[in-house]
Structure formats: C-alpha cells, structure tokens
Amino acid sequence: MNVEQTTLPKKYHDAVLHWQRHNFPDYGLLPENWQKYFPSDPEFCLCAKMEVGMGDEVEVGDAKGAKRREKPEELGEEPAKHLLAIIRAQASTEFGSIQQHEGTFARAQDDEDRFWVLRVMAEELRHGYQMFHLLVSQDWSGVSGQKAEEMVEEILSMQTGSHVLDAFNLEYDSFVDNVVFAAVIDRVGKYQLSMQRVCSYKPFAASMPPMLREEAFHLAAGVIPLRRWVQRAAQGNALITTSAIQKAFNKWMPRGLEMFGHEKGGESNIRFGFKNMKNAEAQGLYYEECKRMIADLNQRYIRARLPKLSPEDAEALATRLLKDRARHDGISHEDLIELPAKGFFRRKGDAAFTMVGFAEEAFTDVEEYVRHLAAHLPEPYLASRDMKHYVESLRQVVAGTITRDQAMKKMPALKRVGGMCPCSKSVRWVVEEGATTLPS
C-alpha cells in the first residue's frame, strides 16, 4: 500500500497499550488466530498510517485552491478549534466502540463472526492511535489550552456513558449489537471518513484513506453475518430471529442519524474545507444506503424461503408485503426488516423529542409513545440507564418543564470521569518521562 507507517512516541504508545490491557483484554487472541481467520493478510500493526500522494490543494471551502495546511497554526484560530473538536470526537468514538464491543463479543455463536469483530476492534484501536498521532505530532496548545498529554489522557479516561457522541454511550445487550453496530454505526464512520478525505489540513486528510480501507471490512463484518442470520431464520434454523435484528436496528439507527450533527448544520465544515457535504445531505445519503442494506437482507430472506423466485421478483414481493402489510406464500411482512422513520426515537436534531413513531406516526401522549418504544426496542435496552434518562427528559419536555433544546443538552447524563487509570489511583494514563510506574 502507498502509506507511511509511524508509531507514537513511547509514552503515548505505552499509554494506548496500557489502556488496551484494561479495556480490550482479548486483543492478544488476534495474533494467535490471525492465520486461521485472515490467512495471507498482512499482519495487524498498531501504528499510524498516512497515505502518500494526497493532493496539495484545498479542495473545498473559502481557501479552495490554496495550499493544504500542514500545521494547526496555519488554519487560523476558529478553524483549528473546530478541527481539534472533530479529531477528539473521532478519537473518542474509536476507543468507545472497543469498550462497547468488548462487553459482548465473546457471546458470538460463530467463531468466524467473533474473530471478524475482534479484528474490527483492533482496527478501531489503530484508528484511535491514528487520531492521537494527529494530536501529539503537532502543537495544538494554542487552541486547546491543554498539553498533548492532557488531551490523550482525557480521551483514554472516557468510559461508555462519558463519550462525546451518544452512539458510543450505549451498552451492548448481546452479540446482535456487535454486528448491527458494525453495519449501522460504522457506516456513519465511513461517511465521515469519506467526507474528511478532502480536509484542508493535510495530516488529517492523509489519515483517511487507510482508515477507509479498513472501514470497508468493518461494514462487511456487520452485513455478512446479518445476511447469514436472515437466511438461517428463513430456513427455520434461527440463531437470531429477524425480530431481534429489527429491534437492534431500531436501537442504533436513531443514534447513527444523530452522528451527522444537526440537520441544519455543517456549513462551517464546508467553509473551513474540512468536509465536502453538509450534515443533512450526508445524512440523507446514509439513510438511503441503509434502506438498500435492509432491502438486500429482505431479498436474502425471501429467496431462502422461495428459492425459485428471481432477484427481481423477490424484491417486488418484499415491497408488496411491506406496503400492503400482507402475507404471501407463508411469508409475512413481520418476517422482514424495515428501517425506522428518520424521526423515530430521536434526542438530537430536528426531530429531537418530537415523538415520531416507527412508521412516522405522530404521538401526542407521552405514555403511549413510551409504550410504542417499548414494543419496538430490545427488551434488555428498555431497562438501561440511557433509556431511563431519555424517558425522563421526554416527560419533562412534554410537561413543559424543560425545552427541547435543554433536553438535547442533557444527554448523555454521565459526567466525564477523571484522568486516572483504574488499576491504581497513582498511575495516570500518560506517564511523564522518568516517573515511577506501578505494575498494573
């Protein structure tokens, strides 16, 4: 590949490995099993990869045509602050997703699925490492007000519940979440990385192509198990039912849509040359792509039940079943998967706390809406802290005790935890050179 690989200075590299020991203890299984599940693939490397040969000109925005920036101070204060927030949020998502995956990945019923997810987790670790490379290889203190160590430490201290984006603050309930997350949330990642490929800050732009190539595998690690699960469900040999898959989609899709930012936003990203699409445009394309993914899954299900149908006939049957809410040749519309409406179960953006139903129904009674959500979301998730906070906020919005804006800012409800490693109160995530470290 046309990439340059680099490692972080030792103290940061060690900090990431220390974090991995606490948050990703199964990491060691990957090299042990690499040849079995990924024969002939280059071995995993925990390093930053920079694409060689990226263009030198800014592609979009106010500085279009000018030379790409290579240092934060060349960006100007406001754009530099804005980009720093993007890099930190990106880093938070990478480490956050590993914490989420780790909870349930061992529950996979199929070893191949499990090792695909394990590789996804390792590559997310590399992506977090990549963002650290961007943070520590240049001086951001002019806009961050923090030393590089402090930024790294803050990100490594985040836990599920204290990450920047809501999607990374939800616990997984089962291995279905590992897979649906890869298909739905990593797909948002693909959009963000694709948009950021044009970035006017060259080191960030050069980070994107290697990450995007890895992201293609992550999406496949979501979609291919889903395809196999629906096929087995259709053949009456269901490890995972389509109803369980549907509910997992309902849990993750709203959070995925919100990861694009408010539907009215994204102007600054274009102006500063950081992305090439506004939020609503990218979100719209994402939603259509998710529709296509679901249509493929439904076609896979129908053809497993009715193998003599052509692909076109299977697609037409799925459309008809879902439109007429009907049954045909023993297949019900309830056997298929549907995408929830864009406004369903939203807590950020245009539709936040507006009580839009799964099929775009408008609710006015909060308790009726809560019952509707209960019928469409995974049962274990209903008992989660996240759901409890959402319902509390929704009741307050409907009662008029808080505004929608206030409710949006209330989530997530947890505060950031401190910058200490959990193995000892006296060991920090990033150890100063020469300091004494205690064994973990």
Partner 1 sequence: MNAVAELVRIRSLSELDIARIVAIDERLSGVYRPEVWERRIMYYLRRDPDASQVAEMGGKVVGFMLSDLRGGEFGLEETSGWIERFGVDPDFQGRSIGRKLFEAVVEHLKRQGATTVRTLVEKKDSELATFLRAVGFKDAPLTALEMRIGLSAAKDQN
| Binding mask of the shown chain, residues 84 to 123, with x at each position contacting partner 1 by CB under 8 A | -----------------------------------x----
Which C-beta is closer to partner 1: that of 80 or that of 234? 234
Bridge partners, residue 50, by sequence = 4
Part in contact with partner 1 (CB under 8 A); list of ranges 37-45, 59-67, 168-176, 391-399: 37-45
- What tokens appear for 439 in the block? 């064994």
Part in contact with partner 1 (CB under 8 A); list of ranges 13-21, 214-222, 256-264, 412-420: 214-222
Among 80, 156, 219, 431, contact with partner 1 (rule: CB under 8 A): 219
Which C-beta is closer to partner 1: that of 310 or that of 364? 310
Least separation in angstroms between CB 181 and partner 1: 15
Among 28, 35, 41, 64, contact with partner 1 (rule: CB under 8 A): 41
Part in contact with partner 1 (CB under 8 A); list of ranges 55-63, 130-138, 221-229, 380-388: 221-229
Q: Does 227 bind partner 1 (CB under 8 A)?
A: yes
Distances (CA, A) of 137 to 53, 203, 376: 20, 10, 46
Least separation in angstroms between CB 399 and partner 1: 43
Least separation in angstroms between CB 96 and partner 1: 23
Least separation in angstroms between CB 131 and partner 1: 22
Q: Does 299 bind partner 1 (CB under 8 A)?
A: yes
Q: Does 300 bind partner 1 (CB under 8 A)?
A: yes
Q: Does 313 bind partner 1 (CB under 8 A)?
A: no
Q: Does 31 bind partner 1 (CB under 8 A)?
A: no
Q: Does 33 bind partner 1 (CB under 8 A)?
A: no
**CA-to-CA distance for 336 and 234, rounded, in angstroms?**
10
- What tokens appear for 40 in the block? 């002939």
Part in contact with partner 1 (CB under 8 A); list of ranges 131-139, 245-253, 292-300, 352-360: 292-300
Quick one: how far is CA 174 from the chain centroid?
17
Q: Does 166 bind partner 1 (CB under 8 A)?
A: no
Q: Does 207 bind partner 1 (CB under 8 A)?
A: no
Least separation in angstroms between CB 261 and partner 1: 24
For residue 205, which phi and psi values (nearest 5 degrees)?
Answer: -60, -40
Among 32, 56, 65, 307, contact with partner 1 (rule: CB under 8 A): 307
How many beta carbons lie within 10 A of that of residue 364, not counting itself?
A: 8
Q: Does 359 bind partner 1 (CB under 8 A)?
A: no
Among 150, 166, 296, 338, contact with partner 1 (rule: CB under 8 A): 296
Among 89, 224, 238, 413, contact with partner 1 (rule: CB under 8 A): 224
Residue 8: Cβ-neighbour burial (10 angstroms; 0-12, 13-18, 19+): buried
Least separation in angstroms between CB 294 and partner 1: 11
Q: Does 40 bind partner 1 (CB under 8 A)?
A: yes
In SS3 terms, the chain reads as CCEEEECCCHHHHHHHHHHHHHHCHHHHHHHHHHHHHCCCCCCCCCCEEEECCCCCECCCCCCCCCECECCHHHCCHHHHHHHHHHHHHHHHHHHHHHHHHHHHHHHCCCHHHHHHHHHHHHHHHHHHHHHHHHHHCCCCHHHHCCCHHHHHHHHHCCCCCCCCCHHHHCCCCCHHHHHHHHHHHHHHHHHHHHHHCCCCEHHHHHHHHHHHHHHHHHHHHHHHHHHHHHHHHHCCCCCCCHHHHHHHHHHHHHHHHHCCCCCCCCHHHHHCCCCCCCHHHHHHHHHHHHHHHHHHHHHHHHHHHCCCCCHHHHHHHHHHHHHHCCEECCEEHHHCCCCCCCCECCCCCCCCCCCECCCCCECCCHHHHHHHHHHHCCHHHHCCHHHHHHHHHHHHHHHCCCCHHHHHHHCCCCCCCCCECCCCCCCECCCCCCCCCCCC
Among 17, 47, 66, 220, contact with partner 1 (rule: CB under 8 A): 220
Which C-beta is closer to partner 1: that of 292 or that of 320? 292
Which C-beta is closer to partner 1: that of 82 or that of 213? 213
Part in contact with partner 1 (CB under 8 A); list of ranges 20-28, 213-221, 249-257, 366-374: 213-221
Q: Does 216 bind partner 1 (CB under 8 A)?
A: yes
**CA-to-CA distance for 60 and 272, rounded, in angstroms?**
8
Footprint on residues 118-157 left by partner 1 (CB under 8 A) = 119
Residue 33: Cβ-neighbour burial (10 angstroms; 0-12, 13-18, 19+): middle
Q: Does 53 bind partner 1 (CB under 8 A)?
A: yes
Q: How many residues bind partner 1 (CB under 8 A)?
A: 27
Residues engaged in binding partner 1 (CB under 8 A): 1-2, 38, 40-41, 53, 119, 213, 216-217, 219-220, 222-224, 227-228, 231, 289, 292-293, 296, 299-300, 303, 307, 311
